[in-house]
Amino acid sequence: MRDHALPHGLGIVYFGNDWHAENRTSSHHIATRLSKAVPLLYVDSPGMRAPNASGRDIKRAVRKLAASLRAPSRISEGLWHCTVPQLPFRRIPGVDLCNRLFGRWAVRRAMRHAGISRNISWFVVPHPGFLAGRLREELCVYYCIDDYAAHPGVDVALIEQRDRDLSSRADLLFVAPPALLEGKRALNPNVVFSPHGVDVELFALAADPTTPIPPAARDLAAPVIGFHGSIHEWIDVPLLEWLARQRPAWNFLLVGHAATDVASLRALPNVHLVGAQPYATLPNWARAFDVAIIPYRQNRQVANANPLKLREYLATGKPIVSTRNPEIEKFSRWVHVVDDREAFLAALDEVLAGEPVAAAAERMASVSDQSWDSRVDEILAVVSNALATRSGMAPPLSRISPQTP
C-alpha cells in the first residue's frame, strides 16, 4: 500500500459488521488494510434486527455483552477491536437515549485504551450513525456497501432513517453498489463510487494444481456445481433444489453458514452442505468447482447489492452462472447472466459442454487490477485530500474525479 501521509497521531474509529462473523465482508477487508496505514479501532456494531430466541442469537448476545465490559483487544499491529452493544428495543421510550449515552461513553473509553486521541469516524453500517459528530472527529466517513433497509428482519423505517441521516451528515460518502449512487448523490455532494475489491493472489490459488482440495470435496464426482457464501434469505433455495433434482448426476457443493431453512437441500443425495469454512481456505474449496454459481432471489436487496463473491469467483478463473443484478451485468462478458431457472440450467449445460481454453485466464484478468490493496489506496487518497481541504492545503473534493460505475 502507498503512503498517503495522513496526519501524524490520527486514528480511525471504525463501526463495522461483527468481527467474528462466519463470512468475511468488505467491512473486514477494508479495516484490515486501513490499519496498516493508520491506527484503527474496530467497533463491533449491534445487528440491525432484534435478536430472536435461537441458541445462536442468544450466544451472540451474551458474547457481545460480556465483550463490552472488557477493554479493547489487540488483533494485530495497529488494529484494535471492541464491542459496543445497544439495547434492541429502540421504540421503547428512553432506550434510544440510553444507547446514545452508553455508546459514546464506551467508544471514547475504548479510544483512550487504544491510544487514539485524534480520529476519523468511519461507518460501514448506518445504525450507530447517531455517534457521527459526537466523537470529536476531524472527518466523518460513511462507506455504504449495501441497501441495509432491504435486509430481512430489520426495522425498515428505522434503518432507512438512520441511513439517510448518516448519508447526509458524512463529510465523505463512499458507495459500493452502483444502483444506490443516484439516491446518495441527492443527499450528499461528496459521493465517491468505490466498488468492492478482491484478494487476487488468494483466489488465484484455485487455479493452481498444487492447491489441495479439502477431504469433504476431494472425492466428489464431476461435475461439481459450487457456491461459497452465507446461505441466507436472499439465496434462492428452491432454485438450487430444482437444479439438483433436474441433474441428479451432478454434485452441488455449498460452502457457507446456512442462516435459512435448507432442509429440502439436505434431503438430496447430490447436495453437499459443508458449513462455514475459514476464509483463507475458500480457494481450496473452489478448486473442486467445475462451475461457480450465484443463485440470488430477485428482490430489492439483490437489485442494490454489489456481491463480493462475483470478483472472488472471477479471480479463481472458474466459469460462472448467475441470476441478474446491475453489478453482475457489468461483467456479462465473463459471466453467464440468466433470468429464470430454465435459463440457469441451460447455461450450466452450455458451460459443462466446454469453453475456449483462454476463458479462465480472461476471467482472472478481468479483476487483476481490482485488489483490496488498490481499493484502499484509492480510498485513502480521497480521505487525505479531504483532510487537506479542511486545513486549506488542497483543492475541494468536488475536483476529485470518482470512478465511473
Q: Cβ neighbours of residue 259 under 8 Å, at least 6 residues apart?
A: 230, 231, 232, 233
Q: Are 103 and 68 in contact (CB under 8 A)?
A: no
- Of 344, 263, 224, nearest to 296 by C-alpha is 344
- Of 83, 84, 72, 85, nearest to 39 by C-alpha is 72
Least confident of 80-94, 254-268, 297-311, 362-376: 80-94
Share of the chain above pLDDT 70, in %: 87
- Is the torsion defined by CA of 241, 247, 249, 250 positive or negative? negative
Q: How confident is the model at residue 390 (pLDDT cuts 50, 70, 90)?
A: confident
Please provide the CATH number assigned to the domain covering 200-366.
3.40.50.2000
- Answering whether pTM is above 0.85, one says yes
Per residue in 262-282, pLDDT (tens digit) is: 999 999 999 999 999 999 999
3 state DSSP class of 237: helix
Strand pairing partners for 73? 81
The pLDDT value recorded for residue 393 is: 55
For 103-132, give one letter per residue: b (16+ CB within 10 A) or e.
beebbbebbebbebeebbbbbbbbbbbbbb
Please say if the pLDDT value at position 385 is more than 50: yes
Grid coordinates of 311:
470478483
Share of the chain above pLDDT 90, in %: 69
Per residue in 169-209, pLDDT (tens digit) is: 999 999 999 889 999 999 999 999 999 999 999 999 999 99
Please say if the pLDDT value at position 318 is more than 80: yes
Q: What is the DSSP string of 32-80?
A: HHHTTTS-EEEEEPPPSS---SSHHHHHHHHHHHHHHTSPPEEEETTEE
Q: Cβ neighbours of residue 373 under 8 Å, at least 6 residues apart?
A: 1, 33, 197
Calculate ∠ Cα 384-84-280, nearest 5°: 70
Question: Where in the chain are all domains bearing CATH 3.40.50.2000?
Answer: 10-197+372-399, 200-366
CATH topology of domain 10-197+372-399: Rossmann fold (3.40.50)
- Of 251, 246, 252, 197, nearest to 228 by C-alpha is 252
Calculate ∠ Cα 75-107-374, nearest 5°: 50
3 state DSSP class of 153: coil
Average pLDDT, the chain: 88
Kindly report the number of other CB atoms within 10 A of residue 78's CB atom: 17
